[in-house]
Structure 1
Amino acid sequence: MRYLAIPLAAALLSACSSQDDNPSAATQSEAATEAVASPASDKTASPGPKTLTLEGLGGLTIGQPVPASSSFTAGDGQIGNGCETLSSPEWPGVYAIRTNGEVRRISVADGSGVKLIEGIGPGSTIEDVRAEFPSFREEPHKYTGPEGKYLTQPGDEPRLRFEINPDGKVSIIHVGVMPELGYVEGCA
């Protein structure tokens, strides 16, 4: 939503001006509409339905309950500590972690077709990730050792975490908050 705020505000301000007061008001309004309809690059584009953002994905919002209309549901065999993993048949390759009723992490893997607005998704290279996110902390992967890595955005608010497999490619992208963002086995 915030991606539309500035062009929408420009369009509304232009529409409020009369053409007599501002002869270019119609031109400004048309330009603002075109900016929303056809952005200059993918990085400034509004997120599409298969774009993972720090806010969430597919109706799931970090820090919020799962909407009643959502197809995401908890699976069998949950740990029972107030943490559940959620999945949806409409979102293959995507799962979420809900703790005490709130979505705390969303993860996307191969087969999901989901990417970040930067174009990075499962299968992208570690070089792609480092080029877009040079300040991310690097640590060895818990199961693959130093050949695999986690690249994690520093901070306490919703953040990104990439799992890099031993061949140097992104296997999973997570967005969420700690401690769930750092979980390596579902709710643990």
Structure 2
Amino acid sequence: MRTFVSALTLSIALVACSPDPDPDPDTPNAAQAPEVVQSVPEPDASAMPEQSRSPAASTPSPTPTTAPSPGKVLALEGLGDLRIGAALPRGGSWAERGAQIDGDCRTVSSPSYPGVYAIVTDGKVRRITIGERSDVKLVEGIGVGASERDVVRAFGGFRAEPHEYVAAPAKYLTAPNAAGGDPALRFEIGQDRKVSLIHVGTMPALGYVEGCA
């Protein structure tokens, strides 16, 4: 019996000390096994404290649009501090420049508004005109260089008249209420069917075709 136990003990020891059998060449070992990367679910941003949320998780604020400068918009009331029906602003940059015709009618301009001049009679501003060198526009976005189609689309019902100096299709487009005494709009359209001049003012100055005449 003692001999059997000793033999069994020796057999177990030999098995424990024997080398592992050669691995199956088709079975990768632990060192050769590809790494498995488990995806981690994104955290619910709505469940996180507000101060812990990343900027990407929050809704971006809309970029504010830049409002046009009031000084660059021609309205029926006037342009900047130059107002239809009012005297020239005191201490402003509007003044007579260049030759003037005899009489009460005067033209004034300002270095702050290239391409713009105003007609003054009886000490009051009667008309403001924007020309080719001006970047001033109406609140509708129409300025010198806009198409006749844009004008008609924005101001339907304007009265068309032949141009005094330029052959058709050049024309004047005048607001239907121009004779009513309130400030009104008048466009000069060139042969290219584009706006060459824009006038805002009251009659008769609104209808002058050449400065104070």
**Corresponding position: 1:187 with 2:201:** no
1:95-114 pair list within 5 angstroms: 95-114=117-136
Paired with 1:147 and 1:85, the residues of 2 have a C-alpha distance of 29
TM-score computed with the length of structure 1 as normaliser: 0.74
TM-score computed with the length of structure 2 as normaliser: 0.65
Paired with 2:166 and 2:68, the residues of 1 have a C-alpha distance of 36
How many angstroms does 1:47 deviate by?
Answer: 6.5
How many angstroms does 1:90 deviate by?
Answer: 1.4
The count of residues paired between Structure 1 and Structure 2 equals: 147
**Corresponding position: 1:134 with 2:156:** yes
Give per-residue Cα distances to partners, 1:141-176, cap 9 Å, x unaligned.
100132211000022210000000100000110000
Gaps of 5+ in 1: 1-37
1:87 counterpart letter in structure 2: S
How many angstroms does 1:46 deviate by?
Answer: 7.5
**Sequence identity percentage:** 54
How many angstroms does 1:70 deviate by?
Answer: 1.5
Paired with 2:91 and 2:160, the residues of 1 have a C-alpha distance of 37
> What SS class does the counterpart of residue 98 from structure 2 fall into?
coil
Match in the other structure for 1:20: none
Paired with 2:69 and 2:176, the residues of 1 have a C-alpha distance of 23
Match in the other structure for 1:165: 190
Identify which of 69, 90, 111 aligns with 2:91. 69
How many angstroms does 1:105 deviate by?
Answer: 0.2
Give per-residue Cα distances to partners, 1:71-97, cap 9 Å, x unaligned.
111123212221001111111010000
Match in the other structure for 1:88: 110
Q: Name which of structure 1's ranges 46-55 and 164-173 shifts more when overlaid on structure 2.
A: 46-55
Please tell me whether the aligned partners of residues 153 and 161 of structure 1 are also in contact (alpha carbons under 8 angstroms). yes
Please tell me whether the aligned partners of residues 70 and 80 of structure 2 are also in contact (alpha carbons under 8 angstroms). no
